[in-house]
């Protein structure tokens, strides 16, 4: 297991101004993903945090959350549940709509993705206003499951996304801006 070098992580996140809409500073993780040892250390650290909880599945958010969430699930030998943008999942779904930093969105989960009482950890690349993650927690809870922790690579502190998550869901992020 390798620890994340935080200076290196910080310099691997590229600011793209006015993307996807004017006024947004988009945190581009492409340089991070392109650096094998750094990417591995990010997965190792997220997996270590997740492993402090008793859980059976990793839940991750479409689409960049899948990159990190699937690798953490693989590393811990856990099941993986994708939460996808509306209309993408092929089987019966449960949905939830919410506000984004740049517009509205709706997410869905397969109705049989988890059993009542199952414990999960949520993974996404970035916590901004918290609407997406709060909606993901809501979907898991609608199916009778629980979210024991929410893990992010990046957190944008100035948007106070943590406050949107239920108080019993601890939030961990590897780097905060």
Q: Residue 12, interface with ligand AMP (CB under 6 A)?
A: no
Cis-peptide into 144, omega within 30 deg = no
Indicate the residue among 132 and 173 with the shorter CB distance to ligand AMP.
132
54 belongs to the catalytic site:
no
Distance CA 166, CA 18 (A): 31
Tokens of 61: 């958010």
Q: Which of 99, 52, 44 lies closest to 68, judged by CA?
A: 44
Q: Which of 24, 70, 76, 171 binds ligand AMP (CB under 6 A)?
A: 24
Binding positions for ligand AMP, 93-112, rule CB under 6 A: 100-101
Q: Residue 26, interface with ligand AMP (CB under 6 A)?
A: yes
Distance CA 16, CA 99 (A): 21
Show the CA angle centred on residue 177, arms to residues 82 and 29, nearest 5°.
45
Stretch that binds ligand AMP, among 3-11, 19-27, 69-77, 85-93 (CB under 6 A): 19-27
Tokens of 146: 């629980």
- Which member of 45, 101, 108, 155 is catalytic? 101
Stretch that binds ligand AMP, among 49-57, 73-81, 118-126, 136-144 (CB under 6 A): 118-126
Indicate the residue among 56 and 171 with the shorter CB distance to ligand AMP.
171
How far does the chain reach from its first CA to its final CA, in angstroms? 25
Question: Which residues contact ligand AMP (rule: CB under 6 A)?
Answer: 24-27, 61, 64-65, 100-101, 124-133, 161
Q: Which residues are catalytic?
A: 64, 101
């Amino acid at each position: 297991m390798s620890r994340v070098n935080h200076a290196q992580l910080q310099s691997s996140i590229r600011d793209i101004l006015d993307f996807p809409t004017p006024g947004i500073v988009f945190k581009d993780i492409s340089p991070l993903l392109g650096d094998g040892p750094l990417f591995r250390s990010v997965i190792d650290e997220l997996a270590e945090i997740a492993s402090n909880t008793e859980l059976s599945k990793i839940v991750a958010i479409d689409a960049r959350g899948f990159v990190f969430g699937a690798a953490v699930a693989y590393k811990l030998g856990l099941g993986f549940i994708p939460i996808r943008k509306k209309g993408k999942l092929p089987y019966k779904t449960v949905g939830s709509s919410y506000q984004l930093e740049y517009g509205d969105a709706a997410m869905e989960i397969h109705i049989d993705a988890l059993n009542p009482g199952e414990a999960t950890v949520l993974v996404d690349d970035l916590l901004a206003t918290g609407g997406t993650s709060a909606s993901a927690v809501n979907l898991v809870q609608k199916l009778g499951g629980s979210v024991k922790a929410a893990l992010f690579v990046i957190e944008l502190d100035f948007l106070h996304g943590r406050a949107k998550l239920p108080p019993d869901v601890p939030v961990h992020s590897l780097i905060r801006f």
